[in-house]
Structure 1
Amino acid sequence: MELASNDRSIAAFTMLGHGVVHWFELAIPILLVVWLDAFDVSVAVIGLVVALGYAPFGLGALPAGVLVDRFGPKQPILWCLTGMSLSFAALAVAPSIYAVALCLLAWGIAASVYHPAGLALISTGVEDRGTVFAWHGIAGNLGIALGPFATATLLLFFEWQLVALALAVPGVVATAYGLSADFDSTAAVDDTPDDAGGSGRSSLVSDSKSLFASSFLLVFSIVTIVGLYYRGVLTYLPEILQGLPAMAGVALPAGIEELSLGDYFYVGLLVAGMAGQYVAGKLTRRMPVARGLVVVFGALAVLAVVFIPVSGLGLVAVLVYCAVLGFTLFAIEPFYQEAVAVYTPADSRGLSYGYTYLGMFGLGALNISFGGFLLEYLSLTAFFLSLSVIAVAGTAVAWRLITAPVGQAAPAAEADAASSDDD
């Protein structure tokens, strides 16, 4: 089905924004290596500097959600794109590692605004939410893949300061498009809230109590569980793949011998994830989101359990496994994003997505340290079993969501869920 004009405009704007956010995010680790030499600092110092950028990216999602509910979603996205672009442009004239730290801190604060604002805009302005959520996720994956690729390639020919300046260009382009884009950010909402885009919202505390007294508590738990699985897999899988016996002794083409075959498999996982996002986005219009979450969590639990036996079956088996894992891991994204839209009222959608990405990027990051502990002191088997347990917990919570009252869902979403149950 062809998207309506308003849906297309919002899709283009949010896809540009999402791609640019992750373009910047994944360029930073490549620049990190250059900064080590350029400023003659230790790995510990550079790690702290980079953390100053990444920490507010997750922790700032909640206040960003409040900002979105107060001013509407479009203006905060424009502020986000402008702030990120200026932060990277400022890197070009950073005279010290301290200045780099300030630039990254500014980037993280600006970047934290995007997910609550972009997803709130889709949820209130788009009729075909599932499809646009899917394309939105695909754009994010493109940014994840192209950001480090472009950075590494440009560094072969130019100084890092000029590269940082060049990396800001897509952000400027996205900002320019947003300034000219014309769309209705509340087109999918039956009744526009009296205070939408204005002042006078109730307090953060009372709004939060209202949200968590509803079925959103289950949705928040689900998203946090997704974050734990997501961060655990994507943080350590490249290193795990590199150490597999199936990867040993494979000759790579001349000129790229320094790259690991596991890195190519990892890129393949991200590409398969784009397909997963698209298919799942379409499925959100054909099945209740809670049931979709149960299915995907169940598949992730199985995939975690079978990694060890599959990894011993050879190169082709590992490649197929990575494709299936990527498809499944990213297929869950449209389902949980749609769940937020179904189980929350439109006038607190920014706050809802703020909590969502606090759970995803903030609490989910806890599995980086826990997963590292399991790999360092226990075993690879223990690591994947822990991922399976996490996915089983997600299945249980999603199953509970099936029987939970829709509560604060929009009437249309409630009717859709009821009709699906009757079928």
Structure 2
Amino acid sequence: MGLSENDRAIASFTMLAHGIVHWFELAIPILLVVWLEAFDVSVALVGVIVALGYAPFGLGALPAGVLVDRYGPRRLVLGCLAGMSVAFATLAIAPSIYAVAISLLCWGILASIYHPAGLALISTGVERRGTVFARHGIAGNVGIALGPFATATLLLAFDWRLVVVILAIPGILATLYGLRLEFDPTAALDSTNPEERASTESRNESGGVSEFLTNSRTLFASSFLLVFAIVTFVGLYYRGVLTYLPELLQGLPALDGIEPPGGLEELSLGEYVYVGLLVAGMAGQYVAGKLTDRIAVSRGLVVVFLGLAILAALFVPVSSMGLLAVVAYCLVLGFSLFAIEPFYQEAVAVYTPPDTRGLSYGYTYLGMFGLGALSISLGGFLLDHVSVAVLFATLALFALVGAAISVGLVVRPRPPGSDSSTHSSSGADD
């Protein structure tokens, strides 16, 4: 049975928006390398600047959820797309690194709207949610891979100020496409239980603050506290690796003396290796998504965290080896880094009750993208004042702490009322 017309419309809208959010997100680390030279500033300073953009991407998830309840998800997704695109384009007129910080801060605030709004739209408007959630996740991964690939390619031919304007064009086109689409954002509620709609409307019309505080206290008094901590350490590792890897790949001994095809510079070769890492992440998500049906999510988290710790410890010795070793390392790192996502997404569903699921995922994005952004500033400081080895030792420590917390989930029973299987949503990328 195929998707209904309404499901297809919502799927195309959210898939396009999800891909563009990550298109912008992963273009920033490539531009970071350019800004270092363009503004003649330190890695530590640029790290703080980029963190200003990434932090509100997660910190804004909770207030964005409140706005979604008040104004509806469609309106918020459209505002997110248009606002992100304009904010990114303003980078072109930045006279200093501090102006770049303002543009990135605006981008991060607007980008934070998408996940609460997009997932709310799918959950209330789509009847075949599993299929659409899976496609939604794939679209996000496509954006994750294409963002840095397009940025690296465009930088070969154009100045970075023109490149940021070109990168903003798909977001504007997606906004125009979304304005023309027609769909029912509450079709799934209409077709299930009328009491569900009444309950949802009642929550939206209530004062909200006392209920928010009560549900938050209930969540953090349960196993969700461990899940939140796990997601935060995933975010710390994720941001620390993906933000600085393009810079670290530049000038590695493995790239010395290599003439890439088509006359590409060594910097571009490193960036394409980085894109290969992101593409390998798609396979990691697919495989891990299948495994969430077959193994306990807590054990899966332990295994992947331990693998990430080992990979962090291996970066320095592998970076001094040949090109094939570096490429193989990056592919395995990408596979493992994105393989952990279906497991922590499943953990949210397993260890939280259904009536607090939206709030649970709001906190999840707060930990992943908000608190996780702290490793950007930390990473810049370590690279500037200590060494690459210490940075990756710190990332290995993050992974080991995540594994230790995950062991705590292994010994805790599933709470009553939690979902026993949410594989249908585990393919999303964040």
**TM-score normalised according to structure 2 size:** 0.78
- Cα distance in structure 2, aligned partners of 1:157 and 1:390: 34
Instruction: Give the match for residue 350 of structure 1.
Output: 358
Mapped partners of 2:190, 2:157: distance in 1: 42
Q: Which residue number corresponds to residue 59 of structure 2?
A: 59
| Mapped pair 1:340 → 2:348 | yes
Q: Distance in 2 between matches of 1:161 and 1:383?
A: 29
CA distance in 2, matches of 1:374, 1:188: 54
CA–CA separation in structure 1 for the residues paired with 2:406 and 2:87: 39
Cα deviation, 1:216-239, whole Å, max 9, x if unaligned, reads: 111111110001111111122222
* Farther-moved stretch of structure 1 (197-206 vs 298-307): 197-206
The corresponding residue for 1:116 is 116
- Please tell me the residue identity of whatever aligns with 2:174: G
- Other-structure match for 2:383: 375
1:171 has 2:179 as partner: no
Q: In structure 2, which of residues 188, 197, 205 is the aligned counterpart of residue 199 of structure 1?
A: 205
Q: 1:105, 1:248 → 2: CA distance?
A: 36
The letter for the 1-side match of 2:325 is A
Question: RMSD over aligned Cα, in angstroms?
Answer: 4.1
Q: What CA deviation, in whole Å up to 9, does each residue of 1:93-150 have, x standing for no partner?
A: x798899877655433321111233345556752358744642542342453355257
* TM-aligned CA distance change 1:62 to 1:321, over 3 Å: same
DSSP 3-state at the match of 1:287: coil
Structure 1 unaligned segments of length 5 or more: list them. Answer: 417-423
Change (3 A) 1:303 1:185: farther
Whole-Å separation in 2 of the counterparts to 1:91 and 1:262: 24
Q: CA deviation at 1:77?
A: 2.4
1:70: how far off?
A: 5.2
Query: Match of 1:285, SS?
Result: coil
Note closer, same or farther for the CA distance 1:339–1:161 as it changes in structure 2 (3 Å cut). Answer: closer
What one-letter code is carried by the residue in structure 2 that aligns with 1:219?
A: V
When structure 1 is superposed on structure 2, of 363-372 and 170-179 the one drifting more is 170-179
With over 3 angstroms needed to count, the CA separation of the structure-2 counterparts of 1:220 and 1:3, relative to structure 1, is farther
One-letter code aligned to 1:340: V
Are residues 189 and 271 of structure 1, via their aligned partners in 2, closer, same or farther at CA, if it must alter by over 3 Å?
A: farther
Cα contact 1:134–1:278 (8 A) shared by 2 = no
Alignment map for 1:19-418 (pairs within 5 Å): 19-27=19-27, 53-69=53-69, 73-85=73-85, 87=87, 105-121=105-121, 126-127=129-130, 131-132=134-135, 134-145=137-148, 148-149=151-152, 152=155, 155=158, 163=166, 166-173=169-176, 175-176=178-179, 179-180=182-183, 184=187, 192=196, 194-197=198-201, 198-200=204-206, 201=208, 203=210, 204-257=212-265, 259-407=267-415, 409-413=417-421
> Cα distance, 1:83 vs. partner?
3.2
- d(CA) in 1 for partners of 2:10 and 2:365? 20
Structure 1 residue 260 displacement after superposition: 4.1
Deviations 1:217-272 (A, max 9, x none): 11111110001111111122222222432222212234322634322211110111
Q: Is the 8 A contact 2:46 2:380 kept in 1?
A: no
The answer to whether the 8 Å contact 1:342/1:410 transfers is: yes
Query: Greater CA deviation, 95-104 or 400-409?
Result: 95-104
For residues 30 and 388 of structure 2, the distance between their equivalents in structure 1, rounded to whole angstroms, comes to: 27
Provide the C-alpha distance between the structure 1 equivalents of 2:157 and 2:117, rounded to a whole number of angstroms: 31
Provide the C-alpha distance between the structure 1 equivalents of 2:16 and 2:397, rounded to a whole number of angstroms.
36
Shift of 1:363: 1.2
SS at match of 2:375: helix
Amino-acid identity (%): 56
Which residue identity is paired with 1:114? Y
Partner SS state of residue 196, structure 1: helix
Secondary structure, aligned partner of 2:130? coil
Report SS of the residue matched to 1:127.
helix
**Is the contact between residue 13 and residue 178 of structure 2 (CA under 8 Å) also seen in structure 1?**
no
In the other structure, the counterpart of 1:421 is none
Aligned to 2:427: none
Greater Cα offset, 249-258 or 215-224? 249-258
Shift of 1:33: 9.3
Aligned residue identity for 1:78: L
State the match for 2:14 in structure 1: 14
Q: CA deviation at 1:403?
A: 2.8
Instruction: Please give the TM-score of this superposition, normalised by the length of structure 1.
Output: 0.79
Q: When the two structures are aligned, how many residues end up with a matched partner?
A: 412
Distance 1:389 1:347, change over 3 A: same
Q: Is the 8 A contact 1:121 1:185 kept in 2?
A: no
Unaligned runs of 5+ in 2: 425-430
Residue aligned with 1:259, SS? helix
Write the distance in 2 (CA, Å) between the matches of 1:72 and 1:176: 14
Q: Deviations over 1:304-335 (max 9, x none)?
A: 22233333442211111110100110111122
Distance in 1 between residues matched to 2:181 and 2:352, nearest whole Å: 27
Q: What one-letter code is carried by the residue in structure 2 that aligns with 1:110?
A: L
CA contact (8 A) 1:11 1:136 kept: no
CA distance in 2, matches of 1:30, 1:391: 25
Change (3 A) 1:278 1:323: same
Single out whichever of 80-89 and 339-348 deviates more from structure 2.
80-89
Q: What is the CA–CA distance in structure 1 between the aligned matches of 2:243 and 2:62, rounded to whole Å?
A: 24
